[in-house]
Amino acid sequence: MRIALIAHDGKKADMVHFLSGFKDRLLGADIRLFATGTTGSHIERAGFEVEKLMSGPYGGDAQIAAMAAEKKLDLVIFFRDPLDKHPHEPDVQMLMRICDVHNIPLATNLASAKLMFKQITTDLHNGK
């Protein structure tokens, strides 16, 4: 299971808190984590192994989108900050569009991400 993790600055703490809540289930599972650069640094500091791409505004969102288009991702969790402006908004929209085009599950808020992670970690532990 290959999971991409992205969080805007106002949501990075939420991302770390969210992942930490699943730490026990994630560490033993067959899961590879990918993240945009700064998000990935936060995730690493929380004790997870993660493959870091470029920072979002410098092309990281576009790299994640390319992975999604090439079917190299199974899930994207993107905690967007809807109350902030982003210079790379076109890349953000592109990533979400690509996920829809290729039917990649995409969670853009905490509640959705929790539902998906509960299902995925349960499935993995049941050998599905």
Ligand X SMILES: O=C(CO)COP(=O)(O)O
Pick between residue 89 and residue 123 the one whose CB is nearest to ligand X.
Answer: 89
Query: How is residue 105 annotated by DSSP?
Result: -
Q: Quick one: tokens of 40?
A: 């990935």
61 carries an active-site annotation: yes
Confirm or deny that 36 is annotated as ligand binding.
yes
By three-state DSSP, how is residue 106 classified? strand
Catalytic member of 9, 14, 24, 61: 61
Pick between residue 20 and residue 55 the one whose CB is nearest to ligand X.
Answer: 55
Do 4 and 71 contact (CB within 8 A), yes or no? no
Kind and range of the H or E run holding 2: strand 2-7
Binding positions for ligand X, 38-57, rule CB under 6 A: 38-39, 55-57
Confirm or deny that 88 is annotated as ligand binding.
yes
Q: Quick one: tokens of 68?
A: 């999604």
Residues flagged as binding site: 8, 12, 36-39, 55-56, 88
Please give the residue ranges that form the binding site for ligand X (CB under 6 A): 6, 8, 36-39, 55-57, 60-61, 86, 88, 92
